[in-house]
Each structure stands twice: as structure tokens, then as C-alpha cells.
Amino acid sequence: MRRLLERLDIPSKRWKRSVSDVAERQLWDCYMDAYDVMIHKTSTPEAAWYVVPADHKWFAHLVVAEVVIDALDHLDVKFPDAAGPPCGNSRIL
């Protein structure tokens, strides 16, 4: 709602305004219910959804960075064996 009001009240943000903004805002609760159902029915431990608040970009970036770091920390990543096969025995496909 705050962002919608800014589009109406602040001249530098009026270009973002759309004729449908007010009508779409009236459907906000329906959209939130649909998002909630979709996230709960499709998020799994193997492919989780993360809901990131976007009211403040710096905070959204922080949340995304933490999620990415946490995911990378849980990967069992190892450097490959550098020795590899001897040059004469490798096959090129």
C-alpha cells in the first residue's frame, strides 16, 4: 500500500503508476492467499522456496546472500583429482 501511495503522491514516481494499480490493490488478499498455497504445495527440502521481503533492497540482498551462502555450505564440494589419467591412455570421445 505504501508503494502505491508513493506512486500517487510523489511526482518523480508517477511514471510507475498504472490505471490498474487501484483495482489490483483490491485483490491483494487474494494474491497473498494464492502465493501462500503455491509456496506450501511446491516447496520441498530438496527444492525450497524462500520468501524474501523486498521493502528495503539492502535487506533483500542480505537475505538472498545468506540463503546462497547457507546452500553452498551444505554442498559436499571437493576439488577434482588433479592427476587424472596419463596422456597416452585417455580416450577422446
On whether both 32 and 68 belong to a single domain, the answer is no
Q: Is the dihedral of CA 51, 8, 27, 19 positive or negative?
A: negative
Higher pLDDT, 39 or 17: 39
On whether both 35 and 16 belong to a single domain, the answer is yes
On whether both 9 and 28 belong to a single domain, the answer is yes
On whether both 37 and 63 belong to a single domain, the answer is no
Tell me the residue type at 16: K
Structural domain including 50 reads 44-77
- Cα distances from 32 to residues 21, 29, 74, 80, in angstroms, run 16, 5, 31, 45
Q: Rounded to an integer, what distance in angstroms lies between the CA atom of residue 16 and that of residue 40? A: 31
* Structural domain contains residue 53: yes
* Structural domain contains residue 48: yes
pLDDT at residue 70, as a whole number: 93
pTM for this entry: 0.56
Q: How many domains does the chain have?
A: 2
Q: Inform me whether the pLDDT recorded for 41 exceeds 60.
A: yes
Number of Cβ within 10 Å of residue 4's Cβ equals 15
On whether both 57 and 22 belong to a single domain, the answer is no
